[in-house]
Amino acid sequence: MKDYRKVGALTLGVIALLATLTPATVSAAATDGSNGGAQAGRGPSAIGAAENPAPDSCLHIRQLNPDEQKYRTVSNIPFTYTSGVYGANWFDVACGDLFFSVPGGQQALLDLTAVAELDCQAPAGIDGWCGGRFLINGLPLPWPDNTGRPDSYAWDSAHGGAVDWQANTLAQEYVVKCDATAQCFYRVQLQSALLAGATSVWIDDLTIRVDVTEGPVFIS
């Protein structure tokens, strides 16, 4: 695994500033799961019975430019979320939150991306899948809306069976309209769900990216 603390300390062509933002507590407590396995002691080979909180050890990175904000959250702690705890409900992913702001009277285009190693599992013969979505201030991305329903992803399929982890990407777009005269503040939260009979999802090496580009946004 890469040491992101060392990477964040290097001076590259672009300076990445470690954020001092305090992340909101992720509501993933009382989750039973396994933090060990076959991939150098990190794979999803088993699901334990002990009830432990989902780890929330995050590294926050940000770069603020005049018309563009770049936010990153990374976590290299694997965890398995199970249907025994969450059922088929959407749940917050640990280290899946970010915060940003937009000046009053301004628009901004948001690029939201989540990349992680995933292993979605379901019983044999069940076409289960594990969903992914972003919330903005507690709501699924509401605008622009071209589907008439909240937008979500099949982030991973359970067809691969057990110990079938691989890198998966979730990407969504959002247009912010700050109609207030004062600055508007926003919270981004990554969520997942165990759907269509899926029983667990293992998440590791998570990177959340939110790019905020201020200025008029045109949709055709």
| Alpha helix segments (H runs only) across the chain | 4-9, 83-86
Write the pLDDT tens digit of every residue in 115-166: 999 999 999 888 899 999 999 999 887 555 544 555 567 899 887 666 677 8
Encode burial over 106-118: b for 16+ CB neighbours within 10 A, e otherwise: bbbbbebbbbbbb
Q: Cα separation of 151 and 134, whole Å?
A: 9
The total number of residues written for the chain in this structure: 220
Interval 161-190 mean pLDDT: 88
Whether the predicted pLDDT of 75 surpasses 50: yes
Residue 1: pLDDT band with limits 50, 70, 90: very low
Prediction pTM value: 0.74
Cβ pair 63, 18 in contact under 8 A: no
Distance of CA 28 to the CA centre of its chain: 13
Question: What confidence score (pLDDT) does residue 3 get?
Answer: 45
Tokens found for residue 60:
């926050």
Domain boundaries defined on the chain: 4-214
Res. 104 pLDDT band, cuts 50 70 90? very high
Distance CA(16)–CA(63), nearest Å, equals 6
Paired sense of beta strands 200-214 and 79-82, if any: antiparallel
- What does the pLDDT read at residue 101? 93
